[in-house]
Amino acid sequence: MIKQVREWAPALVVFALVIAVWEGSISAFHIQQFLLPRPSDIVKTFWTARHTLWPAGWYTFKEALGGFFIGSALGVVVATIIGRFKGVGTAILPIAIAANAVPIIAFAPIAGAWFGEVSPHSKSAIAAVLCFLPVMVNTLRGLQSANPRQIELMRSYAASELAIWRRVRVPTALPFLFTALKVASVLAMIGAIVGEYFGGAFNALGVLINSDAQIFDFVTAWAGILVASLLGLALYGAVAGTERLVVRWAPDTRDT
Amino acid sequence: MSVVKVDSVTKTFARGNVTALENIDLELEPGEFVSLIGPSGCGKSTLLRIIGDLTPPSSGTVTVNGKPARQARNDGDYGIVFQDSVLFDWRTVSKNIALPLEMLGWDRDRRKARVEEMLDLVELRGFADHHPWQLSGGMQQRVSIARALAFEPALLLMDEPFGALDEMTRERLNLELLSIWEKLGSTVVFVTHSISEAVFLSTRVVVMSPRPGRIAGIVPIDMPFPRTVETREDPRFFELVTKVRELLRKRGEHLLPEEAAELL
């Protein structure tokens, strides 16, 4: 416990310093509120506007979560198929990697046309597409980085391909998968919010941030960003926590 | 009946048209401890892998326990130990040892009992629930040996198992390996780079020469068991070491200088 406090202390100190400098420089340099509101005002609005902001955050979070699960699940499935059948990989992988260079966000208006501009499905779709590729590529790399000696050892036991997959390839891939899921958890929230900037339900977080910014209510926009950040952190934390439970052997989760 | 019978085995690698092994004949009687020694590229590890049916020979046959090598592998007739311990990081020490038993379909109680026996054998009681990264290199290799012996295979294949360890750990593990071997009476094929290790452990030392990989000569080691620390100081030990060294040197004209240096 004391060790954990010590580990977190530097980050907390830096965080507090940044907030203090932010707060202080606004009075010191007379920065206009529409340029940059005070942190204390943002937090205040976070509380006073809770009846609109929090449900909006929850609404958007559900979109992001749906996209996260769909995109990640597809990524794992495709990686498993590619990992199993090399021919499929040579056909799909170059296209998938080229597709990754496409700025997916640019498709947001089109996703709106496909799944309904106001519908949460179009936002989930964008989040899913954003999550898919990192999860697929990392899982595939994990499945392929099994130690050849371990596979050889399994062969010496006359192990089936399925047994090798279960006992060697999957455990090797798990740390890779979780690294990707952590990236995807952040991307899902970005996808959902940016999707909402192009149109969405009136009570969605992205729509609120966008409209508040347009009427120069920047404090509320910032408070909305704070809500989005906290939810993004929560999703990230949930993934990291699951990783800690599942990948107990990996170096970065060692407890000694 | 011999435990291993290698009959005019040749192995060529298509890439680079390399002949790794040429016309190898070798026969191992039950309970023998045979070392394969030679410079890099003499095919000693390849020969071990062919015996274990982990790579096919280009021609010739291998018989293990009177069966074709493939059949012997499918029957779980041998255990194998590599240079690095090849432990599964995600398994505890006892689960690593139990791995071959799981593959053989042993039930939980039987596995547990055997794992405990093996932990006693390699003197790792109290480390059952540790993960591999919590152990030293020598301890990891002992787990690896326990895993290879857990299902009591008639044959133990060892590919430079102590090559990555320091001299002191290595000599201690040599003694431990010998006492385990005497207790279990299994047959061992042991690949090594070290002349003194080969002489100390073996009943016979097979000296190999490279390009193409051939058997340069076989030195029977006529020193009594159990071998102890004193064995290494026995004049006979030095004679045999010299004999192996000379065989290596005689065939060593086509060695690269660094390979020769590695051996002598």
Say yes or no for a CB contact (<8 Å) between A149 and B86.
yes
Average pLDDT, chain B: 86
Distance CA B214, CA B26 (A): 11
More confident residue, A178 or B176: A178
DSSP state of A166: I
Average pLDDT, chain A: 86
pLDDT reported for residue B224: 86
Say yes or no for a CB contact (<8 Å) between A155 and B89.
no
**Minimal C-alpha gap between B234 and chain A (Å):** 38
Best of B73, B90, B158 to disrupt the A interface by mutation (most A CBs within 10 Å)?
B90
Distance CA B189, CA B28 (A): 9
Locate the domains of chain B by residue range. Answer: 4-77+155-263, 82-152
The CB-based long-range contact list for B248-253 (8 Å cut-off, 24+ gap) reads B248/B37, B248/B38, B248/B39, B248/B195, B248/B207, B248/B209, B248/B216, B250/B216, B251/B207, B251/B209, B251/B216, B252/B39, B252/B209
With contact defined as beta carbons under 8 Å apart, do B61 and B116 qualify? no
Could you write out the DSSP letters of every residue in B207-230? EEETTTTEEEEEEE--PPSSP-GG
With contact defined as beta carbons under 8 Å apart, do A214 and A167 qualify? no
Closest CA to A138 of A65, A83, A69: A83
Could you write out the DSSP letters of every residue in B58-112? SEEEEEETTEEHHHHHHTT-EEEE-SS----TTS-HHHHHHHHHHHTT--HHHHH
B100 lies within 8 A of chain A by CB:
yes
Residues of A in contact with B82 (CB under 8 A): 149, 152-153
With contact defined as beta carbons under 8 Å apart, do B98 and B111 qualify? yes
Which of A73-77, A102-106, B91-95, B178-182 has the least mean pLDDT?
Answer: A102-106
Predicted TM-score (pTM) of the model is: 0.80
High-pLDDT (> 90) share of chain B, %: 27
pLDDT reported for residue A92: 78
B67 lies within 8 A of chain A by CB:
no
Q: What is the mean pLDDT of residues A56-60?
A: 90
Residue B176, pLDDT above cutoff 80: yes
Q: What is the mean pLDDT of residues A54-58?
A: 90
Per residue in A79-88, pLDDT tens? 998 888 877 7
- Distances in Å between the Cα of A79 and the Cα atoms of A93, A250, B112, B176 are 10, 22, 36, 45
Q: Quick one: B4-77+155-263 is in which CATH superfamily?
A: P-loop containing nucleotide triphosphate hydrolases (3.40.50.300)
Closest CA to B163 of B134, B132, B191, B187: B191
Distance CA B126, CA B117 (A): 12
B222 Cβ contact partners less than 8 Å away, ≥ 6 residues apart: B236
Distance CA A62, CA A124 (A): 8
Tokens, residue B47: 């020969």
pLDDT reported for residue A256: 38
High-pLDDT (> 70) share of chain A, %: 97
Residue B140, pLDDT above cutoff 80: yes
Closest CA to B186 of B60, B69, B32: B32
When pLDDT is cut at 50, 70 and 90, the band that residue B262 belongs to is: low
Residue A255, pLDDT above cutoff 50: no
Closest CA to B193 of B180, B205, B182, B181: B205
Tokens, residue A98: 């080229």
Q: Residue A227: how many CB atoms within 10 A of its CB?
A: 23
Distance CA A121, CA A113 (A): 11
Best of B103, B144, B160 to disrupt the A interface by mutation (most A CBs within 10 Å)?
B103
**Minimal C-alpha gap between B17 and chain A (Å):** 24
Per residue in A152-163, pLDDT tens? 899 888 888 889
Pairing of strands B33-37, B59-64: unpaired
Q: What is the mean pLDDT of residues B161-166?
A: 82
A254 lies within 8 A of chain B by CB:
yes
| 3 state SS of A102 | coil
pLDDT reported for residue B16: 67
Residue A253, pLDDT above cutoff 50: no
pLDDT reported for residue B1: 79
